Structure 1
């Protein structure tokens, strides 16, 4: 496999960078990644047989080359993006994606990443040990986070939803049509194998999902107060600090 950092891709190839970053999910789905939850939202976790969104991906057996598999997967993801747009998600353009990544690399250098103060870390490992009510707990997490986002944003404000290794989105929490179901979220709040980040344009607060440590970090006075007043059920144990949390390097992999 060929792996390279998106930071090495020039502006003229921004669209390729976005597409190639998504290609790594093809290998995750095909190889059934050993990381707990990694790639699952392209299969069962985000697939609801009673929901029209085509979010369950399986590689057709007649596709024999990597290019064919990637092209098919990209077409499915494009359909998914169109469906997500109907409920309030907007996929960032290649230019927006590159500009935002450049800002994030300046603000949060990956070799010394630390969420801004004030911040607090919650251990969420309880959800990974709970098969019977996993979806119930994730739905509760989504709903309470959405309520906090609405409480801390203006009616017309957008939030960036960043799945570090895949497509990036923005959404207006006040307009998002969701009852908390996992399949309704383009980028999950719950870390399922990738590093996730939810931030407003001015970075005054943030939600960080760290799969390596089964934890979620909340930063910003206002957002911390909103979460403390209505905590998700999975926030069972508050940790003291998160200096061990470092987001992974952003890589792209073409199968």
Structure 2
């Protein structure tokens, strides 16, 4: 890949989205009865983004973006790429190792879903993030990504709302409050 960020061709866009719909049983919608909008993988954790509502200087949001981007970069080999998917809009393939510096291109999109579903995916679809704009949630998946990010994200957003697609057990909720 010569350029660090490349917009997906129409054919690749269709192929990637078709596979995402199939692999994750993606069902977009604003109705809470249909959430979560994907079948969250077994090795996944989902957090509410509501704590960012009271973040006037965007410090926690900036830290969240930094932690997720660093985690995804660690999980991709130096020559590897990620997909950055924006539902019903242009989507990209990019090299996270080449888009981090001030003189380099920026990451396409953000882990924070700003009005649409924002998704980062490894080429094998086993590692990534799914930002749900209406549930106001962020799901990270892939054990390697969780290993390097979950403790830091807990500190930013608080206790998860789901693990492996399920609400935490009562004991976990109680310990998170104490």
TM range (shorter): 0.7 to 0.9
Q: Which residue of 2 aligns with 1:140?
A: 63
Q: Which residue of 1 aligns with 2:134?
A: 212
Q: 1:158 touches 1:171 (CA, 8 Å); kept in 2?
A: yes
Please say if 1:192 is aligned against 2:117: no
Q: 2:45 touches 2:140 (CA, 8 Å); kept in 1?
A: yes
Gaps of 5+ in 2: 28-36, 168-178
What is the aligned counterpart of 1:120 among 45, 68, 72? 45
Q: Which residue of 2 aligns with 1:109?
A: 25
- Measure, in 2, the Cα distance between the counterparts of 1:243 and 1:196: 21
- Measure, in 2, the Cα distance between the counterparts of 1:101 and 1:148: 23
Q: Which residue of 2 aligns with 1:168?
A: 91
User: Scaled by the length of structure 2, what TM-score is found?
Assistant: 0.75
- Measure, in 2, the Cα distance between the counterparts of 1:203 and 1:225: 17
Q: 2:96 touches 2:107 (CA, 8 Å); kept in 1?
A: no
- Measure, in 2, the Cα distance between the counterparts of 1:113 and 1:231: 21
Q: 2:72 touches 2:128 (CA, 8 Å); kept in 1?
A: no
For residue 67 of structure 2, give the secondary structure of its aligned residue in structure 1. Answer: helix
Q: 1:140 touches 1:233 (CA, 8 Å); kept in 2?
A: no
Tell me the CA shift for residue 159 of structure 1: 0.4
Q: How many residue pairs get matched? A: 154
Q: 1:140 touches 1:232 (CA, 8 Å); kept in 2?
A: no
For residue 72 of structure 2, give the secondary structure of its aligned residue in structure 1. Answer: helix
Please say if 1:129 is aligned against 2:45: no
Q: 1:141 touches 1:233 (CA, 8 Å); kept in 2?
A: no
- Measure, in 2, the Cα distance between the counterparts of 1:232 and 1:140: 12
Distance verdict in 2 for CA 1:185–1:233, change over 3 Å: farther
Tell me the CA shift for residue 161 of structure 1: 0.6
Tell me the CA shift for residue 232 of structure 1: 7.2
RMSD: 2.6
Cα shift readout 1:160-205 (whole Å, capped 9, x = no counterpart): 01111211011111111356xxx94421211121111111111121
User: Scaled by the length of structure 1, what TM-score is found?
Assistant: 0.54
Q: 2:119 touches 2:128 (CA, 8 Å); kept in 1?
A: yes
Tell me the CA shift for residue 229 of structure 1: 4.8
- Measure, in 2, the Cα distance between the counterparts of 1:229 and 1:240: 15
Q: 1:199 touches 1:206 (CA, 8 Å); kept in 2?
A: yes
Distance verdict in 2 for CA 1:222–1:193, change over 3 Å: same
Tell me the CA shift for residue 243 of structure 1: 5.9
